[in-house]
């Protein structure tokens, strides 16, 4: 195994251990799972939001777009993400927190209707499925190059790790 491969295995192991540790802290309550009991400092929330941009879609996709079409082609996605996070935080974070809600669809239900909440939740679900599919494809390709174990095998391993992490309470 190469040093890069070993680094990846150690990182995934540490992440899984953190997920299991987190599982012991949420104490079986959905509120603690979603908002960590409102106990996270602002700097951790900021880092967590920024970390969303570091994925296979953002890194590999942006590198390809910048290489093939110029800097601004690759810069559009991270700038769009930053704008969306800022706008969402500026417009929705205060009201959601004051109303003691956990999700944006909850806000839509309270403000508009159950139907609006359902439409928002379904559209977010579809968008997240597409995002995860792109990330799985990119990560499978990268790990296939690092471990030379076959693309499908890497997709299965990645999916199993993500499922185990999510089920044990990984945030």
- Neighbouring CB atoms inside 10 A of 74's CB total 19
Instruction: State residue 37's pLDDT score.
Output: 62
pLDDT score of 67: 84
pLDDT at 78: 80
Neighbouring residues of 42: CB distance < 8 A, sequence distance ≥ 6: none
User: Cα–Cα distance between 79 and 72 in angstroms, integer?
Assistant: 10
> DSSP secondary-structure letter at 99?
T
Determine contact, residues 7/158, Cβ cutoff 8 Å. no
Q: Which pLDDT score is estimated for 35? A: 62
- pLDDT score for 139: 87
Task: Give the pLDDT of residue 118.
Answer: 96
Bin 38: left if φ > 0, else alpha if -120 < ψ < 50, else beta.
Answer: left
Question: pLDDT (tens digit, 0 to 9) for every residue of the chain, 171 residues total?
Answer: 788 888 888 988 888 887 777 767 666 666 666 666 666 677 777 777 777 667 777 777 778 888 888 888 888 888 888 888 888 888 888 888 888 888 889 999 999 999 999 999 999 999 989 888 888 888 888 889 889 889 999 999 999 988 887 777 665
pLDDT for the residue numbered 3 = 87
């Amino acid at each position: 195994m190469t040093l890069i491969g070993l680094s990846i295995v150690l990182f995934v192991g540490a992440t899984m251990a953190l997920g299991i540790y987190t599982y012991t802290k949420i104490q079986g309550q959905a509120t603690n799972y979603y908002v960590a009991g409102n106990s996270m400092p602002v700097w951790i929330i900021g880092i967590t939001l920024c970390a969303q941009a570091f994925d296979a879609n953002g890194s590999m996709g942006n590198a390809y777009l910048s290489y093939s079409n110029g800097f601004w082609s690759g810069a559009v996605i991270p700038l769009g993400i930053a704008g969306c996070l800022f706008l969402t935080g500026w417009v929705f974070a205060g009201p959601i927190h004051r109303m003691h809600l956990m999700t944006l669809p909850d806000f839509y239900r309270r403000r508009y209707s159950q139907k609006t909440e359902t439409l928002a939740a379904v559209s977010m679900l579809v968008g997240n499925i597409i995002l995860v599919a792109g990330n799985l494809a990119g990560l499978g390709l990268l790990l296939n190059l690092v471990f030379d174990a076959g693309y499908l095998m890497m997709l299965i391993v990645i999916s199993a790790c993500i499922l185990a992490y999510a089920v044990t309470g990984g945030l």
